[in-house]
Amino acid sequence: MQLFHRRDFRAAREMFAAAAEGSSREVAHAARQHLRMCEQRIGTRPVELHSAEEYYHYGIGLIAERSLEGAREALSKAAALAPKSGHIHYSLAISLGLLGDLAGAARHLSTAIQLDGKNRTIARTDPDFLEFGRQSPVREVVFPEKKERVTQLPS
């Protein structure tokens, strides 16, 4: 409570979180109430996500905010929970590409395209891909026909 009254809400939040796990129901209840007050004053609330779709939607929101590292984490969890979901791999490719991990972006985009061929067409016009989609190795995944033309030598 001293930390709370000193307005050190981050430190108080940790103490209240620990107290909320205690065996006394009354203390745990009061600790949870103060924990919520600390989180409101800090301005962040922990997000509780459980399903692949919840992680996916949360990750999409973080991409929109350009909170890319958080998006990568959320979408990686979504991909782990639903490895055969092309839309999740597609979004993970976007977050990785925007972070500068072009090899990771190409890998997840390839998976997304294997799971649903429409993802290649979508990537060709997606504004998020414009920032990195014309760079190798992502370019070769998005535009494989250009790679084939370059590698074919004239006779």
Whether the CB-CB separation of 95 and 68 falls below 8 Å is answered with yes
Print pLDDT tens along the chain (155 aa): 888 888 888 888 888 988 888 888 888 888 888 888 888 777 755 678 889 999 999 899 888 878 889 999 999 999 999 999 999 999 999 999 999 999 999 999 999 999 999 999 999 888 888 878 788 898 888 888 765 544 455 55
DSSP-derived secondary structure letter, 126: -
* pLDDT value of residue 96: 94
Residue 73 vs residues 64, 81, 99: alpha-carbon distances, Å: 15, 13, 12
Residue 73 phi/psi, 5-degree rounding, is -65, -45
Tell me 133's DSSP state.
Answer: T
Gap between the Cα atoms of 60 and 116, Å rounded:
19
Q: What angle do CA 119, 67, 139 make, to 5 degrees?
A: 35
From the list 40, 71, 35, the residue with the least C-alpha distance to 56 is 71
